[in-house]
Chains A and B, each alone.
Chain A
Amino acid sequence: MSLRNLPSDSGRRASLVPHGATRIGIYVALGVLVLAAPFLFRGIVTQLAFLWLMILFALTWDILGGQMGYNSFGNILFFGLGCYAAAVVQRDTHLPYFVALAAGMGLSALVALVAAGVLGPLTLGMRGQYFAICTLGLSIAAADLFAGWEFVGAGSGIVPALYPGPVDERNRFFYYVLLALATLTFITLRLLYRTRFGAAINAIRDDEDKAEAMGLHTTRYKVAAWMIAALFLGLAGGPVAGLVGFVDPRDLAFAGATFGVWMVLMAVLGGKGTLWGPVIGAAIFHTTQELFWTYLFGWQRVAMGVLIVAIVVFFPLGIMGWLRARWPQWFGEVVDEAARPARADGAGIGDERAA
């Protein structure tokens, strides 16, 4: 081993994360900026709200994809179920708007948890490529089932209750809801990855057979991890349905070809298996995507395809992985120069949880 995780013992070594007052200052400035953003950038509040959704997507995908080594193409399923559950509650109960929204989000969370709890034991026994393609099939089958189901409006979609107020206020409200959800996801995962649970799912990623031989109930951990991802994805469904004002089965709820692939890509771009990677990846990807949609009218989806191939082929380690390979000392690692080439493949990215 040429790299070891050692406690930082001198001020000589540069660290990526500043300490003390600087650090608190950065967090406070970021917090203020994020809270004030809907008033500073009035024209793009919806896009900013979607940024938080994208961050949530990337973070929840990374629980399985990055931390546990199970690459799902079907996580969008839980988001779609959440959208529909919330919209149905709003349509069929005669509660006041915010009560219905809260009740709808509660049902969304429940439906998503049950779906993950039922599908998990069936699919999470599959390894690698079979799991990836099975989840892809699940999300597309769900899209087509909902597009043919009369109760939820079939192909023409479902309309949730109308927000009682002007459009600007609606956008701002859902911006804060999605901001809160994304922050909650981040904090939950940050705490979770430091526990025994985090160590267990990392062990599953590194060598599932060994983890099982060591006595870990791998299936339980895998299902639990998927349920955590499903919970946050389901919760996000209601606010997004309210923000968009219309749930389309293929273009919003189960949008496998856009959101479903993007969440994988954002995590890969930022760096799989790190906590900040998906956040950074989502921010960069979402900005690029919005620029494509604004300036490449008609060809934006072609450009998106090129971008996907380029990221996967040329940048598989992601931003955090690249930074870590380039400046390992920033991550609190001691570099043994003599033995360094042995690690040139970048293996072990994400060893350090919550980097």
Chain B
Amino acid sequence: MDNLQILAVAPVFNLQLLVDGILIGAVFALAAYGMGLIWGVMRIINIAQGEFVMLGGYVALYAAGAGIPSLATIPIAAIVLLVLGWLLYRIVLFRLVDKDLFTSILATFGLSILLQQIANQMFGANVRSLDSGLGTLSFAGGQITVAEIKLVAFGAVLVLGAALVLFLKMSRLGQALRATAQNAAAARILGIDTDRVYAATFALNAAICGAAGALVAMTWIIHPYLGLTYTVRAFMIVVVAGLGNLLGIAASGAALGIAEQYAGFLLGTEFQTAFLFSVLVVILVARQLALHRQRLYLK
């Protein structure tokens, strides 16, 4: 808690934490939007969500290693993950669509362990990051610094988010996807091939996570074991904001990013993960108590 004094003495640090929090929160929001998409359409909670982010980061890392400019690795990560997501749907996920949520949670948990361990075997357990080759901006006489890549990432998230909304609203497939989310049986009666819609949804989600992962590799760090933290962040954001509520997801993502920046600064990095998972528990308990109060009111 020593750092609390720093915040009191130099209030400008607050600004630094806020800016960093909002910029990183945008990436969390992206993964959360994907999670909300498959939760809403397929009724599956995907615990392997964070592993897609992690794999996207590694794809970007190896693509950049092959001489591709770092910003161009973002679409490459998205495309590779799109294919992986589609394959996983065709091999495993389609069997889970009609099962209860616990089965899908446990199966995707297994998938997450599998992907994490494959990554560990293939890429090694080292913490790595991708140098974007961009500089750093300073404000307020050098007291606040913002890496340019974080701004680029923020911009990329906005572009991707807008593209997703347009896709869901305008395209045939997007409309089929929303129809399936509303009522899968009715969608089937009206001639929508829901199996294809599910495959597209899952692949699309993986692609979103892949792009987010490339951004994470450039702005932050990646290693094989960080998947679950991204899953939990996405889950929290979706629980707070609701499925598919884009503005809510963006706001919750920013709030979570800011909260994590403060926690990391005040509590030290060794408690950062503990903080994240404690917030998860607190959010779920608070939600439960709020629902309980509503129930008492109904009585």
Contacts and interface: CB of A to CB of B under 8 A. Distances in A.
Q: Do A and B come from one complex?
A: yes
Interface of A: 71, 73, 122-123, 125-126, 128-130, 132-134, 137-138, 140-141, 144-145, 147-148, 154-155, 257, 261, 264-265, 268, 298-299, 301-302, 304-309, 311-313, 316
Interface string B258-288: 0000000000101101100110110011011
A140 B271 CA distance: 12
B280 A133 contact: yes
A128 B110 contact: no
B82 to A, nearest CB: 21
A148 B274 contact: yes
B92 A313 contact: yes
B121 interface: yes
15 contacts: A122-B285, A123-B285, A126-B284, A132-B105, A133-B45, A144-B270, A144-B273, A148-B268, A154-B270, A301-B117, A305-B117, A309-B107, A309-B114, A312-B103, A312-B110
Contact of A313 (B95, B101, B285): B95
Nearest to B110: A308
B118 interface: yes
Given A122-B288, A305-B114, 9 more contacts: A125-B288, A126-B284, A137-B281, A140-B277, A141-B277, A144-B271, A304-B113, A304-B117, A313-B95
B228 interface: yes
A268 B106 contact: yes
B198 interface: no
B96 interface: yes
A301 to B, nearest CB: 4
A245 B255 CA distance: 43
A326 B97 CA distance: 25
Contact of B121 (A123, A141, A299): A299
B51 to A, nearest CB: 10
Contacts, number: 120
Given A299-B121, A306-B114, A312-B103, A144 B284 contact: no
B101 A128 contact: yes
Main secondary structure of the interface of A (DSSP, over half): helix
B113 A134 contact: no
B110 A257 contact: no
A122 B288 CA distance: 8
Contacts of A148: 268, 270-271, 274
A264 B285 contact: no
Nearest to A139: B277
B102 interface: yes
B105 A309 contact: no
B99 interface: yes
A131 to B, nearest CB: 8
Contacts of B58: none
Contacts of A268: 106
A97 to B, nearest CB: 33
B121 to A, nearest CB: 6
Nearest to A126: B288
Task: Give the 10 A-B residue pairs with the shortest CB-CB distance, closest first.
Answer: A305-B114, A308-B110, A144-B274, A141-B277, A137-B280, A301-B117, A309-B110, A305-B113, A312-B107, A134-B284
B197 interface: no
Given A125-B292, A144-B273, A304-B113, A309 B281 contact: no
B55 interface: no
Contacts of B292: 125
